[in-house]
């Protein structure tokens, strides 16, 4: 207990919660302070769960095998996130190497930089910039004209999903936002109220292949002025498909809710356009025989990566590409359920 001129200062009490275990994101004081409670968090990981405010990198061994990083190389992590992949890459390129890292999320970027700096990586070894990954071409002059390897993990990070205040999950009430960078663009609730029924239907089909797009679009359009939260939207979708609420629905209805949230998130963040710009720039940002690895998590992303890689191979930009995607191992899918939908593709620039 500290003291001041006015007497002893009582330490701030942690957030109290009901029951034996904390349920809400803000109450999980151990998970939110993983440096202090590392042993407790390891137990959570071993149980097959992802601790709140953290993210478990997917296909780490497979990515390292594809990129084959070694000391002295210059690489780019185009989606820094929690920094799990970056930490493994840095271990292999330092000393002598440099890792550039970018991410569009201003809230998580500072936290991740603090963690990685605490591991001992200097600003010369790890160069961090806030940007979406389509802006990687701006880094070329600083990187010496090209990268030996480039990694892009297109998944939504667990930190964003777990924090209901970010509006990415329908499992807990939060603002219907879905923006990676909450300082730019319009939130999902504004998007919904700007579209008519037909536009909503097309959005759900185009961005997530939703089979029940028509009844969902009609329900969302009719209730657009009443929807204000993530759970409010989820309840509207559930009722449109015959359930009483999101809490009393089958797996198929839950899947539809998840796909609608995905479709809105993609639109709010202009994800497909940004990805296509990144894929167009990719071969020009690699050195000769440079390697690229991209993790996707749904067909809209994977199809675009496959198409651009095949076009690059046909035009002579790439010497080799993955013919089929690599999936996480059965062991990884079991220990980290959020990895189940991941697909990993790679390409090697012609040299």
**Residue 98 corresponds to which tokens in the numbers above?**
């440099």
Region(s) of the chain under CATH 1.10.150: 182-268
3-state secondary structure 178-232: CCCCCCCCCCHHHHHHHCCHHHHHHHHHHHHCCCCHHHHHHHHHHCCCCCCEHHH
- pLDDT tens, 102-119? 988 887 788 889 989 999
What is the percent of the chain where pLDDT is above 70?
A: 81
Q: What is the largest CA-CA distance in the chain?
A: 75
Q: Give the separation between CA 162 and CA 168, rounded to whole angstroms.
A: 8
- Worst-scoring range by mean pLDDT, 67-71, 100-104, 182-186? 182-186
State mean pLDDT over 28-55.
49
Q: Give the separation between CA 160 and CA 162, rounded to whole angstroms.
A: 6
Please name the fold of domain 60-158+289-349: Rossmann fold (3.40.50)
DSSP secondary structure, 242-263, as one string:
T-SSGGG--HHHHHHHHHHHHH
Q: Give the separation between CA 44 and CA 40, rounded to whole angstroms.
A: 7
> pTM here?
0.80
- Worst-scoring range by mean pLDDT, 62-66, 305-309, 330-334? 330-334
Given a cut of 50, is residue 187 above it in pLDDT? yes
Given a cut of 60, is residue 1 above it in pLDDT? no
State mean pLDDT over 249-255.
88
Average pLDDT for the chain: 86
- Worst-scoring range by mean pLDDT, 146-160, 202-216, 218-232? 146-160
Bigger pLDDT: 338 vs 16: 338
Q: Give the separation between CA 269 and CA 48, rounded to whole angstroms.
A: 30
Given a cut of 80, is residue 279 above it in pLDDT? yes
- The helix/strand/coil state of 229 is strand
Predicted confidence band of residue 195 (pLDDT cuts 50, 70, 90): very high
**pLDDT at position 108:** 79
CATH of domain 182-268: 1.10.150
By CB neighbour count within 10 A (0-12 exposed, 13-18 middle, 19+ buried), where does 269 fall?
buried
**pLDDT at position 107:** 77
Bigger pLDDT: 44 vs 226: 226
Region(s) of the chain under CATH 3.40.50.150: 60-158+289-349
- pLDDT tens, 287-330? 999 999 999 999 999 999 999 999 999 999 999 999 999 999 99
Given a cut of 60, is residue 35 above it in pLDDT? no
Nearest Cα neighbor of 298 from 211, 189, 209 is 209
**pLDDT at position 31:** 45
**pLDDT at position 27:** 46
- pLDDT tens, 72-131? 999 999 999 888 999 999 999 999 999 999 988 887 788 889 989 999 999 999 999 998
Q: Nearest-5° angle of CA 244, CA 246, CA 247?
A: 85
Given a cut of 80, is residue 333 above it in pLDDT? yes
**pLDDT at position 320:** 98
Predicted confidence band of residue 222 (pLDDT cuts 50, 70, 90): very high
| CA distances from residue 227 to 174, 237, 262 in whole angstroms, order as listed | 12, 11, 17
Bigger pLDDT: 147 vs 22: 147
**pLDDT at position 157:** 66
Q: Give the separation between CA 80 and CA 11, rounded to whole angstroms.
A: 34
């Amino acid at each position: 207990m500290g003291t001041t001129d006015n007497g002893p200062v009582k330490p701030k009490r942690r957030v109290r919660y009901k029951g034996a275990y904390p349920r809400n994101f803000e109450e999980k004081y151990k998970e939110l302070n993983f440096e202090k409670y590392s042993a407790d968090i390891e137990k959570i990981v071993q149980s097959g769960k992802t601790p709140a405010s953290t993210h478990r990198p997917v296909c780490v061994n497979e990515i390292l095998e594809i990129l084959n990083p070694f000391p002295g190389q210059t690489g780019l992590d185009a989606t820094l996130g929690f920094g799990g992949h970056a930490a493994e890459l840095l271990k292999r390129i330092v000393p002598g190497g440099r890792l550039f890292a970018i991410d569009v999320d201003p809230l998580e970027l500072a936290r991740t930089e603090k963690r990685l700096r605490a591991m001992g990586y200097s600003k010369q070894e790890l160069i961090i910039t806030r940007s979406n990954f389509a802006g990687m071409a701006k880094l070329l002059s600083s990187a010496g004209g090209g990268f030996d390897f480039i990694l892009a993990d297109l998944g939504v990070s667990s930190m964003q999903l777990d924090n209901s205040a970010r509006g990415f999950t329908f499992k807990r009430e939060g603002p219907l936002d879905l923006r990676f960078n909450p300082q730019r663009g319009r939130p999902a609730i504004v998007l919904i109220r700007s579209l008519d029924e037909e536009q909503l239907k097309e959005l759900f089909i185009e961005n997530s292949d939703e089979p029940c797009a028509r009844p969902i679009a009609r329900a969302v359009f009719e209730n657009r002025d009443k929807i204000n939260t993530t759970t409010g939207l989820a309840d509207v979708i559930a009722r449109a498909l015959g359930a009483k609420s999101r809490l009393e629905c089958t797996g198929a209805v839950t899947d539809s809710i998840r796909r609608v949230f995905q479709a809105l998130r993609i639109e709010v963040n202009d994800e497909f356009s940004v990805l296509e710009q990144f894929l167009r720039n990719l071969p020009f940002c690699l050195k000769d025989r440079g390697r690229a690895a991209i993790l996707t998590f749904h067909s809209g992303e994977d199809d675009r990566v496959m198409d651009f890689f095949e076009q690059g191979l046909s035009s002579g930009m790439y010497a080799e590409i993955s013919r089929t995607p690599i999936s996480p191992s059965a062991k990884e899918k079991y220990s980290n359920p959020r990895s189940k939908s991941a697909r990993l593709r790679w390409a090697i620039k012609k040299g």
